[in-house]
Copies of this chain bind each other. A is one copy, B any other.
Amino acid sequence: MSTLSTRPLDLKNGYVDMSFGAGGRAMAQLIEEVFIRAFDNKILNREHDAAVFELPPGRIVMSTDTFVVSPLFFPGGNIGSLAVHGTVNDLAMGGGVPKYLTAGFILEEGFPLSDLVKIVQSMAEAANDANVTIVTGDTKVVERGKGDGVFINTAGVGVVPDGVDIGGDRACPGDVILVNGMLGDHGVAVMSKRENLSFSTEITSDSQALNDLVAEMLKATPNIHVLRDPTRGGVAATLNEIAQQSKVGIELDESALPIRQEVKSACELLGLDPLYVANEGKLIAICPAKDAEHLLAVMRAHAKGQDAAIIGYVSEDKNCFVRMKTHLGGTRMVDWLSGEQLPRIC
């Protein structure tokens, strides 16, 4: 499209204006000079409204997630890398090998193009690291005051290997519950940035793609029953959902929960409970008891599972309660979050 315009966009000092969403020359330039330049691949480069590709035969997993995190840039990532990690992880939690992503942007008039370039570059790097391809996209622009900088939707597809059957309804009494590492880092990193808090040690988001870890786990233990990433609502919401869907109870052991001391302190300061704080690079795995120690060893041998731990087990309970044995030896309910704890955390 070199004949399209005589002047390239000013990616250093320019701003998004309404014409970038109007379907004309400015939008074509934005697509060419920002998105295609960063995401460069032969499916996307055909520049159709839809991408055509082949997938190996088998079941397909599909997911979507919209990102409205505030602030857009936070320690350990930004909305772009987060948008890729989030959908890659949702696909992986469905037991799938993530393959292709789409990207839909809502830009607010006046947003700096230099920030957009940074975000898009982070998406490209995250996609590359996770071995997925961004094959098609869409851009809309809304007037100043009708959006908030950038919102991003990513949807994705992947392939589920034969023999894998993962689902929130498959937890069985006696199963063991594992997590791949430290809890609460993402939520606390974003909240600290939003509230302008600083700590002696900076807490960074755990935002990362988990598909490589999941592949190792499934190779070692194809019989995993449940995989979930405890994002919004944290471990508490995720375990309550699983308990409801599987019609079981869940028993946690507080002393086994891997949580950094800095995160505990920040949570106290912010009035948060780490069990309800979002993670963006963590997974909950539920497997038969006989496979648990082997699975734990496999997770700990992986860079993204070094702090993996067994945190509880599945019980029989027609009330579907999630309970926790506390440090003090008592037991408390881990209920659904009823109000909002952390708005716009992802």
A residues within 8 Å of B by Cβ? 1, 3-4, 17-19, 21-28, 46-55, 57, 59-68, 90-91, 93-96, 100, 102-106, 135-143, 145-148, 151, 153, 155, 157, 160, 167-169, 228-229, 231-234, 237, 241, 244-245, 276, 278, 319-320, 336-344
Determine the chain B residues whose CB is within 8 A of the CB of A63 once the complex forms.
49-51, 102, 136
Q: How many copies does the complex hold?
A: 2
12 additional A-B residue pairs with CB within 8 Å, beyond A64-B138, A142-B148:
A3-B244, A22-B233, A22-B340, A24-B276, A46-B169, A49-B93, A52-B160, A62-B100, A64-B137, A68-B106, A142-B151, A147-B148
Determine the chain B residues whose CB is within 8 A of the CB of A4 once the complex forms.
244, 336
Q: How far is the CA of A21 from the CA of B66 in the complex (A)?
A: 11
Provide a sorted-by-A list of 11 A–B residue pairs whose CB atoms are within 8 angstroms.
Answer: A3-B319, A21-B68, A22-B233, A24-B233, A48-B94, A50-B91, A54-B59, A64-B136, A66-B106, A68-B140, A140-B151
Contact yes or no, B64 A60, CB < 8 A: no
Q: How far is the CA of A63 from the CA of B104 in the complex (A)?
A: 10
Chain B residue at smallest Cβ distance from A54: B59
